Amino acid sequence: MQNASSQETLILVDSEDRRIGSAAKADCHRRPLRLHRAFSVFLFDRDGRMLITKRSAKKDTWPGFWSNACCSHPHDEESTEGAALRRLKEELGVSAELRFLFTFEYRADYDATWGEHELDHVFVGQCDGPLDPDRDEVDEAKFIDVADLKQAVRDRPERYTPWFKISLDRVLDSRCAGGLPRRSD
């Protein structure tokens, strides 16, 4: 299955995030996988709960899996942070001030055809809603207590996207160090 966003052009990069070309999104996510620039946004509400989203059943990769608030790819001549802000508005109908945390490279196979090989730029921010999810992108969205989320990921890791599981602990450590709100129990 290929959705309309598969026609986008993505920025190919090396492991140092230097641009080396461009390619169609479908060509980057279909084997053999090509390293490209991406971003992931993690949002917390004022009580320190994390916003997680269930990917639309229409997605080519990891449909129906739970993940961070928003993830996608910048367009040519668009900053990665600018793309993250744009996609928050498009996917969830929200705005948030974002703080860059870190970049990591990962590769994950979804099935025999589809997968990911991304240099993922991770951002964090605060948002209390209200949300207006685009149903082509998100089937569900909810704020969840961080301790409950960590337990859920431990109990049922197969329900969560690979990039989310890879970056979750590092995001939580960075969030605490960076002064984003934490719930006082």
- Among all residues, which ones are annotated catalytic? 71, 118
* Phi, psi of 26, rounded to the nearest 5 degrees: -60, -35
Type of residue found at 73: H
The closest alpha carbon to 24, from 35, 43, 5, 10, belongs to 10
User: Which segments of the chain are extended strands (E)?
Assistant: 9-13, 19-24, 36-44, 50-55, 66-67, 70-72, 98-109, 115-126, 138-144
